[in-house]
Amino acid sequence: MTHLWLRAEQRDNETRTGLTPEGAAALIALGMKVSVEDSDSRVIPTAAYAQAGCEIVPAHSWPDAPRDAVIFGLKELPEDGTPLPHTHIMFGHAYKGQSSGRKLLEQFKAGGGTLLDLEYLTDDAGRRVAAFGYWAGFAGAAISVKCRIAQLRGKTCGPVQPYPDAEALKAALAEELAQVDASGDRALVIGALGRVGRGASDLCAALRIPVTCWDMAETTHGGPFPEILDHAYFFNCILAGPDTPAFVHPDAPKAERALRVIGDIACDPDSAFNPVQVYDRATTWAVPALRVHDTPPLDVMAIDNLPSMLPRESSEDFASQLLPTLRALPETDNAVWQRARKLFDQHVAEV
């Protein structure tokens, strides 16, 4: 019997989940066992999982789960160096040269476990089977607008919090924008045809911020891209790789520019492929804006769990996309899971 163990997230401001009670009930109906860790912070109450037939277990008890249980979560595990003997489904951020990713792979190698990275669960055409992208783009653009509003008030953006839903978020931003003069601001989105780019573009459109939409056709020449500096906002919405050109070079902050806020929604500052070369660390909910130049101001917004700003909508969307693949977890010959295991084997062998 396949045993899926939904762990409680251990990161601050992370209230999302990749499995709803309805999805858990569907897995149980297939003959799978589903254990759910109790969590006071998960956007969906633990009681709803119990009603769906799940076994409820203590929070953060996954290290003691049966060895054959597949541990499912979203964000990082504790960086304590503990060997990892289980199979984990999660966002590992370990395959693009990240320093923390190598440490994670070392933990798996030491424990004999396996990472099935959510970012690399792909169909036969290479498309991700599930992604938080749309809501990451939507929320990332929203926080970037908050950064711009703060600039226009002579300040730097303060702490941000989740919103009940997208309508409440849009209404709050529209009210704040009405109090400042941002009439000349325009945005440029790279990756506009993808989920992340669509989310960022839709938020801007809802707030009547003119958007220039770029995708592969506009960036294949490899740069430079002076048009980025002509827009108040730049949103990086692509998954960078070794062939991705640099969009913002280190000298950009001192250049003549209309650019005021970079929303690096892809957020890979410690990757060797980072195309936004003016910052070196992610920002946080407590400090969402990293000021990289003062006069005129230039802020980088690079929070790496953006969909948590709209946790219920993003969780329900992601879980519905992922459920068909979770249903196939018992199938040893399933191509999606096979590709994920092969990719892990390749990377862990290099550690």
Q: Which residues are catalytic?
A: 75, 93
- For residue 106, report the phi and psi dihedrals to the nearest 5 degrees: -65, -35
Interatomic CA distance for residues 9 and 25, integer angstroms: 21
Nearest CA-CA partner of 187 in 243, 127, 147: 147
Q: How far is CA 276 from CA 148, 161, 201, 233, in A?
A: 18, 25, 19, 13
Q: Which H/E stretch holds residue 298?
A: strand 298-301
Residue type for 333, please? D
Peptide bond into 224 cis (omega under 30): yes
Q: How many CB atoms sit inside 10 A of residue 217's CB?
A: 8
Contact criterion met (CB below 8 Å) for 196 and 265? yes
Listed in sequence order, the residues at least 6 apart from 72 whose beta carbon sits closer than 8 Å to its beta carbon are 4, 5, 6, 7, 18, 19, 88, 89, 90, 326
The angle at the Cα of 187, spanning 160 to 156, to the nearest 5 degrees, equals 35
The beta-strand segments (E) located in 159-253 are 187-190, 211-214, 233-236
What phi and psi values does residue 43 have, to the nearest 5 degrees?
Answer: -65, -25
Q: Within 10 Å of residue 330's Cβ, how many Cβ atoms? A: 15
Q: Pairing mode, if any, of strands 289-293 and 261-264?
A: unpaired
Determine the Cα–Cα distance for residues 310 and 154; give it in Å rounded to an integer. 28
What is residue 88's DSSP assignment?
E
Task: Provide the 3-class DSSP secondary structure of residue 145.
Answer: helix
Q: Is 35 helix (H, G, I), strand (E, B) or coil?
A: strand
